[in-house]
Structure 1
């Protein structure tokens, strides 16, 4: 479950938020069980900013509060809190952890970002998946605090280490409180019920908000909701492939075949586009004859493969119903930026159309990826998209 325990669980962000809040409230609860130490890894600044007021309260009561995240500069922290900057490439940059430890009490959550999305999630952000576990047992929290002490110790001031080591030493001398398993069992029941309620709520949402199958084309408002622009999201976390496609019908096709035929042709094109999608993917209509496929967790090579399948599928419509030869161009970008750089990939698509290039790619910078997932990158604007044969 935790890094020092059995195999990890698959956890959704909704799971992690619920358990994190429970652990944080435990840190604030008044108790006479000795000094409290707290550690939290937030991955990126926007996630900490959302909880900064709460951590100001925690730091005011805890003996030591350690806050870690990736960033070029340390965040503004309340008195009593110590910031640790994480390097993008180190494993802790992918970790979502919350730990509270006293000589008599402990609670801990440790989860590693899979950089994948749950298909039924209402948004990209809410659908992020993690491997890890959580516990409301003191010795589990002790073991994980010792681990973080070893990994972060050289980045903490001596004053913080003295307090942290004092609490760790007291925990080793005192036995854990009897009955911890009973309290944890009650918390797990509440978390399971909350997760079932969330799934039931998701099942009532409109198809453009959440679906177990690739949905029809999203509009701008639905796309904004799904990409999480109305909530809290951060760059550098979840890689997303963008495939922009322009499908131009032959000149004079509406006049020759009539608008009813044009509508059938549009449905055939839509069928090709949505056939390329996984359950976690979405398609957006950007303009007439112009579409965007949003594909979480794909590498550039995989995204190019999707673009090639779409181009081949649309080309196949000349040999089968509706027997129309469309002109197809595509552009591919893989990015961890938020908001998604849609303008960049559309610019690349326009360039490909003007240059007569079937497929263009937008230059990107390498970004760390978990084991088993292809290479992705952070998209950066380029003076001219790369030509892809």
Structure 2
């Protein structure tokens, strides 16, 4: 962190609330200009959601700067918004910041993507960030100066001049005496209003495919290039020509046992989807390929252990593993890889590596 303050841990769910509060404060009627606003969005879909707000902010602000990996295309920019393209490799690419500053007002949020998640209602809202926020003018001034140092050379000359004049004006006026009290009250309201959404609950620990779409953000605002997700496709089946059992076959008990074996490897942040009677997909946020392969190993062990409860049953397991930052998740490709593994008799298949990003992670 650049401010010297000890960072706090936030979910995306709570940071959205703070971001909206700062943006609406910037839009409030006040005779305290000039207004400067910086916002780093990480990826274009997150800016698209707030495009109208930034059109209104740019109508009031002296300088409005938005940044994201690759930058938005020209037709996505409201009049008055200055776009800055961030490189995939630079530190600012993982930063989520919103800063508003006038001579008598300031508010700032600065957070860094951890590439991790916590259990939440959706994959997107559970993303974790480290950072800080507050409604104090001098803290906002500090962040504006920091971002100006990093981004000024990417701004047109008139925007740099207006930014420098606004910063000089802020420095000429002392901060208000009541800032600490207002900041404390706002923190209490945010804590009470945004405690985080509960995780998705399903009766058997499984999602259907529509539920996976909702949880992974395909039906909402999400973006490729942020959180890596490991995917494991799994087919559990008896070999063709398996002998008939003695006595009555308890298909329901066997099915429940397989289900329990599959879900036994899941962490609280993971989700599983049943795509067919004997086929499953596991979604494992923030895991790499070695960890995903270790999960496959544990699946083999847990399913192999079923022979103790069902001595006349022998299961074969075929799997496919991928790590992706794509959204929506490439579940159809995963299923095709499982089909290939079954057809070729391969225990574990992999998806082809994803192409290197062009302007987006």
TM-score by length of 2: 0.93
- Please list the CA deviations of residues 25-77 of structure 1 after superposition, one character each: whole Å capped at 9, or x if unmatched: 11111212231010001111111111111110000110010000112653421
Map 1:1-389 to 2 at 5 A: 3-71=2-70, 74-75=73-74, 76-119=76-119, 121-196=120-195, 198-199=196-197, 202=198, 207-208=201-202, 216-251=205-240, 255-256=244-245, 260-318=249-307, 320-323=308-311, 324-365=313-354
1:178 deviates by 1.0
Question: Are the equivalent residues in 1 in contact too, given 2:41–2:97 (CA < 8 A)?
Answer: yes
1:220 deviates by 1.9
Which consecutive residues of structure 1, in runs of 5 or more, have no partner in the other structure? Answer: 210-214, 369-377, 379-389
1:322 deviates by 1.8
Output the CA distance in 1 between the equivalents of 2:46 and 2:70.
12
Distance 1:111 1:169, change over 3 A: same
Give the total of aligned pairs. Answer: 357
- Please list the CA deviations of residues 303-339 of structure 1 after superposition, one character each: whole Å capped at 9, or x if unmatched: 1111121123212323x11232201110001001011
Distance 1:292 1:34, change over 3 A: same
1:130 deviates by 0.8
Question: Are the equivalent residues in 2 in contact too, given 1:104–1:177 (CA < 8 A)?
Answer: yes
CA RMSD of aligned residues (A): 2.1
Output the CA distance in 2 between the equivalents of 1:253 and 1:23.
64
1:255 deviates by 4.7
SS in structure 1 at match of 2:292: helix
Output the CA distance in 1 between the equivalents of 2:90 and 2:18.
25
Output the CA distance in 2 between the equivalents of 1:102 and 1:206.
42
- Please list the CA deviations of residues 101-146 of structure 1 after superposition, one character each: whole Å capped at 9, or x if unmatched: 1122110000111121111x11111111111110100110011111
Which deviates further from its counterpart, 259-268 or 6-15?
Answer: 259-268
SS in structure 1 at match of 2:10: strand
Which consecutive residues of structure 2, in runs of 5 or more, have no partner in the other structure? Answer: none
1:206 deviates by 6.3
TM-score by length of 1: 0.87
1:172 deviates by 2.3
Query: Which structure carries more relative contact order (alpha carbon 8 Å, separation 6+)?
Result: 2
1:363 deviates by 2.2
1:174 deviates by 2.1
Distance 1:251 1:33, change over 3 A: same
SS in structure 2 at match of 1:112: strand
